[in-house]
Amino acid sequence: MDKQNVRTLSLIVCCFTYLLVGAAVFDAFESEAAVETAKLLMEKERQLQEKYNITAEDLKEIRQIVIKMVPYRAGTQWKFAGAFYFALTVVAVIGYGHSTPKTIGGKIFCMFYAVSGIPLCMVMFQSVGERLNIFITFVLRDIKKGLKLKNIEVSQSTLLLITLNMSSVVLAAGAAIFSYYEGWEYIDAFYYCFITLTTIGFGDYVALQKDNMLSRNPDYVAFTIIFIVFGLTVLSAAMNLLVLRFLAINVVAEQCGDTDAAVAPGTVTVVHVDDDEVITTNGLVVSAAEEVPETADRASVCSCSCYNLRSGIFRNGPRLAEDLPMFRRASPGIFSGSQTEYRRDKQQNLLETEDRVNFTSDNILLSWGGYVRTKRASI
């Protein structure tokens, strides 16, 4: 079976296994508590019926009225402040469900509004997250310059660590403020912040839903909106880096799989370049000259142009040299082809370019991505 198909099948199995493990853990934590809560509520309901001599039909009607009244405890939800809060939860795909359109026109408009607003909002958060990453990178480089450090470049791992720490600070600070205003326990407030900023949006905890806060406390309303927007931006910055890391790993696995499939075991190609032998075996380049392995700090396997490499950001790239053995010549050399010459200095990184350029000789094809495809020659 093809290696890429095996990887895909493995990911599917891992995903469903993860779901099964999660279901088992939630079952262990929540099932007994849910049964006990249901028994307690049913007993309370029976006591109310006996105390006030309420029929089952009347109790059902009271229950429906109480449930319908829940969204209105914060006051009128559809004045401008409440409508803005609702629109934000729509385009940010949080979807608390605390307030929903009731009119036909409102429901139709909500669907069209979401279709246009959700992609726009996602692109905006992703773009602002990128700008935030670049700003953090420049700040860290300036700090390193001020400390007169020799290496002022900022690795992707360092930037990811910074953004994750920022996300933790945002969650912790937001939880403290929501705990104060809403009267929640701190763990419940932290849970609310996490569920909100990850756009899960269960709706079991929703801010601004008591004591007419939407109309009585405009400062708190403004803070809640700013918290959601800023928090989603910070998390988008972290998610951008995580996605780049996983994409880099995926590219390595797929390209290595392509190379292994293209070159059969025992197939060796010998190419003479400037009187030196360059031997490629199963897609790996080995020079007859002295070989100097790429260090983890310089090897890069990500060929995407999401970030401007000329500015120095991610110049070192993902540190995945152990996943993709790459070699460079200890002395400058020339790869001569029928149409193209390629000079490589020993200090030059193969991936310091935004373009993928192919260099061809009679027997070997080299790409800027660090991957090699060769013509097969049996010996």
- Compute and round to an integer the Cα radius of gyration of the chain: 29
CATH of the domain at 181: 1.10.287.70
Final residue belonging to a domain, choices 261, 283, 309:
261
Q: What is the mean pLDDT of the chain?
A: 75
Q: Which whole number is the average pLDDT over 59-70?
A: 86
Predicted confidence at residue 330, as pLDDT, reads: 38
Kindly state whether residues 48 and 87 are assigned to the same domain.
Answer: no
Predicted confidence at residue 125, as pLDDT, reads: 92
Kindly state whether residues 38 and 183 are assigned to the same domain.
Answer: no
Confidence of residue 362 (pLDDT cuts 50, 70, 90): very low
Query: Is the pLDDT assigned to residue 13 strictly greater than 80?
Result: yes
Query: Is the pLDDT assigned to residue 85 strictly greater than 60?
Result: yes
Kindly state whether residues 123 and 202 are assigned to the same domain.
Answer: yes
Confidence of residue 344 (pLDDT cuts 50, 70, 90): very low
Tell me the percentage of the chain whose pLDDT exceeds 70: 66
Q: Which residue has the higher pLDDT, 221 or 304?
A: 221
Kindly state whether residues 135 and 185 are assigned to the same domain.
Answer: yes
Confidence of residue 260 (pLDDT cuts 50, 70, 90): low
Kindly state whether residues 165 and 224 are assigned to the same domain.
Answer: yes
Q: What total number of domains does the chain contain?
A: 2
Q: Is 170 contained in some domain?
A: yes
Query: What CA–CA distance (Å, rounded) separates 315 from 153?
Result: 7
Kindly state whether residues 191 and 122 are assigned to the same domain.
Answer: yes
Confidence of residue 300 (pLDDT cuts 50, 70, 90): very low
Q: Which whole number is the average pLDDT over 171-194?
A: 96
Q: Give pLDDT tens digits for 213-231.
A: 888 889 999 999 999 999 9
Q: Is 8 contained in some domain?
A: yes
Q: How far is CA 44 from CA 52, 53, 70, 102, in A?
A: 12, 14, 20, 31
Confidence of residue 258 (pLDDT cuts 50, 70, 90): low
Query: Is the pLDDT assigned to residue 139 strictly greater than 90?
Result: yes
Kindly state whether residues 121 and 254 are assigned to the same domain.
Answer: yes
Q: Is 63 contained in some domain?
A: no
Q: Which whole number is the average pLDDT over 186-190?
A: 97
Q: Is 126 contained in some domain?
A: yes
Final residue belonging to a domain, choices 261, 291, 311:
261
Predicted confidence at residue 281, as pLDDT, reads: 40
Kindly state whether residues 94 and 231 are assigned to the same domain.
Answer: yes
Kindly state whether residues 36 and 89 are assigned to the same domain.
Answer: no
Q: Is 286 contained in some domain?
A: no
What's the angle, vertex CA 17, arms to CA 243 and CA 241, rounded to 5? 10
Q: Which residue has the higher pLDDT, 324 or 244?
A: 244
Query: Is the pLDDT assigned to residue 16 strictly greater than 60?
Result: yes
What's the angle, vertex CA 318, arms to CA 313 and CA 324, rounded to 5? 140
Which is nearest to 157 in space by CA: 253, 245, 234, 235? Answer: 245
Final residue belonging to a domain, choices 233, 261, 289:
261
Kindly state whether residues 21 and 95 are assigned to the same domain.
Answer: no
Q: Is 30 contained in some domain?
A: yes
Predicted confidence at residue 335, as pLDDT, reads: 38
Confidence of residue 272 (pLDDT cuts 50, 70, 90): very low
Query: Is the pLDDT assigned to residue 137 strictly greater than 90?
Result: yes
Q: Is 178 contained in some domain?
A: yes
Kindly state whether residues 44 and 79 are assigned to the same domain.
Answer: no
Predicted confidence at residue 251, as pLDDT, reads: 74
Kindly state whether residues 28 and 148 are assigned to the same domain.
Answer: no
Q: Which residue has the higher pLDDT, 180 or 372?
A: 180
pTM over 0.75: no
Domain of residue 154 covers 75-261
Confidence of residue 23 (pLDDT cuts 50, 70, 90): very high
Query: Can you point out the beta strands (E) in the chain?
Result: 268-273, 276-281, 284-287, 291-293, 327-329, 333-336, 341-344, 358-360, 364-367, 372-374
Q: What are phi and psi of 318, to 5 degrees?
A: -60, 135
Q: Which whole number is the average pLDDT over 319-334?
A: 39
Confidence of residue 286 (pLDDT cuts 50, 70, 90): very low
Q: Which whole number is the average pLDDT over 168-197?
A: 96
Q: Is 102 contained in some domain?
A: yes
